[in-house]
Every structure is written in C-alpha cells, then in structure tokens.
C-alpha cells in the first residue's frame, strides 16, 4: 500500500511572465477575468504560474479535498441519426457493431450497480431513430424499481431535444422541452449530465457536428432543467478544429448562464464543468492529434479561473487518463469522476469498453497528488459507507 503523503503546502507563486502579474492580482482580489486575459493565460509559457493560480482558487473552494464517486455508465445504444466528425461511438442501424439495450439488459445493469454499492448511474446514448419515448421513461422506471436510492443522471441536452421530437413536442419550443424533462423527472430522473455541449460556436458546429443542436438550444435545455429544480453539468470538447478563442467564448457563455440562474434564484445550477480532450480514435477527425499534455493542463486551469461561479471542475479520468487527472488535481480540478466499469464512447487506455478504476485506485491517485479523497454522491454530498451500504451526509 502506498503510504499517505502530506498535503502540499502551496508556496508563494514566483511569476516568471510579467504579463501575468495583473491577472494574478485580479484573481486574488476576487475580480473576474476576461476572455482576453484567458487568452493571455493560454499563450503564456509560464505554466507554473497559471497552474499555481488555479490551484489557489480550487483550494479556496475545496481546501485539500478531491472528490470521486462510485458509479456506473450505461450507453444504452450507439445507433445515432447524427454523424458527428469527432465521434467514434456512433453506428448506423444494421451497421456492424450497432447495438441497443433492452429494458431487461438495463435491469441487469441496475442490479449490478446496486450490488456494487454505486450511488450513481450515468446514462448517455445516440439519437436512436426508432425507439419510442416510452423506452426512455421505462428505462428510468426500471432502474428506479430495482435501485431506488441510486441517482440517475441521464440524457444529454441533445437527447432531450430528440425526445421532444419523437414525443411530438418538438414544435412546442421550450415548453415542449420542459414537458419532456418533467416526464423524465416523474419517472425518476435526478440530474442532467454535461454532454453534447461540444464548443458553442456556429463555425465549429457546422464543420464538426452539423445537424446537432446549436449552443443556444443546449443552453435552453439546461435552463429548463434548472427551472424544474434539477442540477446539471457542462462539458467542453476541446483539441479538435476549434480555436482557443472559441473555447474561451464557450466558457464565458456558461459563466453568463450561471450568473443568470443565480440572479433569477433558479433552484437548479451547473455544478461541475468538465473539459473533455478530443480522443481521435477512428473518428472522421482521426488525422488530428488531439490535445497534448500541457494543453490539457492549461485548459483545466483556465476553466477553473474563468468559471468563477461553478463550484466543481472535473478531470474525467476515462478521457484524461488517471495519470493526467492526478496532474489536473494540482492545476484546478477537484473531482476525477468514478469507478465507471463499462464505457463505450471513447477508449484511451483500453481497447475494450471495460474501463474500470477501483476505489482503492482512485483514492491512491488522489492521495498521491497530495489531496484527501472524499467519496461524493452526484450532488456532491459526502457519502458515508459501510461496504456496499451507503448514505449521504448533508
Ligand atoms: O457528448 C464524443 C464527448 C460526451 C468524443 O456530466 C468525445 O458528469 C472526446 O458528456 N473525444 C459524453 N470526447 C461524455 C460526457 C460526460 C463524461 C463524464 C462526465 C460527465 C458528467 C459527462 O463525450 C459527448 C461528447 O461531447 N465525446 N466523442 C471523442 N472522440
């Protein structure tokens, strides 16, 4: 067993790039940084100042705590009406490798999740052209029946818009979206995951994921969920054809939406922002290299500094690798996601969908990075655990 390592003492930052001095002062004074300043942070070679500053901010939010959870991902079908260029997950109906889970399959997954003591099931799939709306509510109800205590975080904004269309509510605009989310809550939905946001920019949209909902519609879905009292997350898929300026715009738009939710005292909020590095796989963009290690660190640090009104920054270890997630904990991230087990959307360290980290692995990675591991539930409440029995501490 690795011996516990004492938490790092945060040393005074020695700023090598003088251009960063006013930004450091601003952040320390609690003043919000601009997109232009975000770009300066992207362009500096003084990566230590950037990461140390992001670390200072994450410590103000969370001290030396770093979160993980015990979860399962269910990717219920890879059949998708869209053909996003970055995606290596989707298949067309009847194409080799296309699959969809029956409700019986879902029940087996739920039983397995319950027996393992998972607190969350995270569900995402393609935009299946023929499954009826009742499949989605049945899927949630089936899990609820088997595992009533497990939080169900399901369906990206893109899927919610698809569900509005197939349940003939697509023309009702935001009212249709709200009514779909309402039905899903009624079945047992607990929150929305952050997927499908990609990069909120029409140029990038038209080149890399034409046909998908645009940024404004993604935001409308999350606003509708927040208004109905659900929390949600937000992702940013970076390191493909987008520019750094476009990433910073994406961050600003999320920040503005969170401000609006706070000003209007809306119950639901963005709880975590999750930068997802583009994994080329065998996608149509596989000729691109994907972001390098330093770009990953810069991005997580800048996300922490720009999103001053979102409490959590997640380094999703499945896409970042556990090693990179450890670095990220020192550069602004406070969460590395969970045990996962099966994950079908991207494969980095594995050639199969079996991508699992045990609790011991996650805790060791966190301790090694100099932090205190805390098991959380989906809503970031601390979990008290005795084997597979668990409860949350408020
Ligand atoms: O929406 C697809 C992205 C997302 C690739 O909310 C890719 O807690 C990189 O949203 N390279 C799904 N990314 C995953 C997701 C997520 C993950 C972990 C936690 C949470 C949360 C949400 O994955 C998709 C898409 O944006 N994606 N293909 C790719 N080749």
Q: Does 71 contact ligand 1 (Cβ within 6 A)?
A: no
Please name which of 146, 217, 156 lies closest in space to residue 184, comparing C-alpha atoms.
156
C-beta separation of 310 from 222 below 8 A: no
Q: Does 290 contact ligand 1 (Cβ within 6 A)?
A: no
Q: Does 120 contact ligand 1 (Cβ within 6 A)?
A: no
Q: Does 283 contact ligand 1 (Cβ within 6 A)?
A: yes
Q: Please provide the distance, in angstroms rounded to a whole number, between the alpha carbons at the two ends of the chain.
A: 31
Give nearest CA residue, ligand 1 atom 14: 195
Q: Does 231 contact ligand 1 (Cβ within 6 A)?
A: no
Give nearest CA residue, ligand 1 atom 8: 193
Place of tokens 């796989």: 281
What is the distance in A from the centroid of ligand 1 to the CA of 348?
13
Q: Does 281 contact ligand 1 (Cβ within 6 A)?
A: yes
Q: Exposed/middle/buried for 216, CB within 10 Å: 0-12, 13-18, 19+?
A: exposed
CA-CA distance, 238 to 245, in Å (whole number)?
A: 11
> In the Cβ-directed half-sphere of 44, how many Cα atoms lie within 13 Å?
25
List the chain domain ranges. Answer: 67-393
Taking residue 393's Cβ as centre, other Cβ atoms within 10 Å add up to 8
C-beta separation of 363 from 4 below 8 A: no
Q: Does 378 contact ligand 1 (Cβ within 6 A)?
A: no
Q: Does 338 contact ligand 1 (Cβ within 6 A)?
A: no
Give nearest CA residue, ligand 1 atom 18: 316
DSSP string of 94-123? TSTT--B--HHHHHHHHHHHHHTT-SEEEE
C-beta separation of 336 from 314 below 8 A: yes
Q: Does 110 contact ligand 1 (Cβ within 6 A)?
A: no
What is the distance in A from the centroid of ligand 1 to the CA of 124?
9
| pLDDT tens-place values along the chain, 394 residues long | 444 444 445 557 889 999 999 999 999 999 999 999 999 999 999 999 999 999 999 999 999 999 999 999 999 999 999 999 999 999 998 899 999 999 999 999 999 999 999 999 999 999 999 999 999 999 999 999 999 999 999 999 999 999 999 999 999 999 999 999 999 999 999 999 999 999 999 999 999 999 999 999 999 999 999 999 999 999 999 999 999 999 999 999 999 999 999 999 999 999 999 999 999 998 999 999 999 999 999 999 999 999 999 999 999 999 999 999 999 999 999 999 999 877 788 887 666 778 788 999 999 999 999 999 999 999 999 999 999 999 999 7
Q: Does 156 contact ligand 1 (Cβ within 6 A)?
A: yes
Q: Does 315 contact ligand 1 (Cβ within 6 A)?
A: no
What is the distance in A from the centroid of ligand 1 to the CA of 45?
29
Atom of ligand 1 nearest to the CA of 237: 26
Q: Does 198 contact ligand 1 (Cβ within 6 A)?
A: yes
Atom of ligand 1 nearest to the CA of 88: 30
Evaluate if pTM is beyond 0.85.
yes
Q: Which CATH number fits domain 67-393: 3.50.50.60, 3.40.1160.10, 3.20.20.70, 3.40.250.10?
A: 3.20.20.70
DSSP H or E segment with residue 85: none
């Amino acid at each position: 067993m690795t011996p516990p390592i004492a938490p790092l003492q945060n040393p005074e930052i020695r700023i090598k790039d003088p251009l960063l001095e006013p930004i450091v002062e601003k952040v320390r004074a609690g003043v919000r940084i601009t997109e232009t300043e975000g770009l300066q942070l992207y362009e500096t070679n003084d990566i230590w100042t950037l990461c140390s500053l992001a670390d200072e901010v994450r410590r103000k939010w969370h001290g030396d705590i770093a979160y993980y959870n015990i979860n399962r991902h269910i990717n219920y079908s890879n059949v998708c009406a869209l053909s996003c260029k970055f995606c290596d997950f989707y298949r067309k109906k009847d194409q080799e490798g296309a699959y969809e889970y029956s409700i019986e399959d879902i029940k087996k997954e739920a039983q397995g999740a319950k027996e393992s003591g998972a607190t969350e099931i995270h569900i995402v799939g393609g935009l299946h052209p023929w499954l009826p709306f009742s499949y989605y509510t049945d899927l949630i109800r089936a899990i609820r029946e088997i595992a009533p205590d497990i939080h169900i975080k399901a369906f990206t904004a893109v899927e919610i818009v698809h569900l509005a269309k197939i349940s003939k509510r697509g023309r009702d605009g935001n009212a249709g979206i709200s009514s779909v989310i309402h039905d899903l809550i009624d079945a047992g939905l607990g929150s929305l995951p952050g997927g499908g946001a990609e990069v909120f920019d029409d140029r990038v949209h038209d080149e890399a994921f034409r046909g998908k909902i645009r940024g404004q519609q993604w935001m409308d879905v999350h606003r509708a969920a927040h208004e109905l009292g659900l929390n949600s997350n937000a992702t940013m898929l970076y390191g493909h054809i987008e520019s750094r300026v476009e990433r910073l715009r994406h961050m600003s738009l999320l920040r503005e939406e969170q401000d609006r939710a706070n000003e209007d005292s809306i119950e639901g909020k963005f709880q975590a922002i999750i930068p997802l590095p583009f994994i080329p796989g065998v996608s149509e963009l596989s000729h691109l290299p994907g972001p390098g290690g330093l770009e990953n660190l810069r991005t997580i640090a800048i996300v922490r500094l720009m999103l001053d009104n979102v409490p959590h920054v997640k380094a999703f270890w499945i896409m970042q690798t556990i090693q990179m997630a450890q670095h990220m904990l020192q550069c602004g991230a406070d969460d590395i996601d969970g045990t996962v087990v099966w994950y079908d959307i991207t494969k980095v360290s594995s050639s199969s969908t079996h991508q699992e980290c045990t609790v011991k692995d996650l805790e060791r990675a966190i301790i090694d990075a100099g932090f205190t591991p805390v098991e959380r539930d989906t809503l970031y409440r601390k979990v008290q655990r005795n084997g597979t029995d668990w409860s949350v501490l408020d």
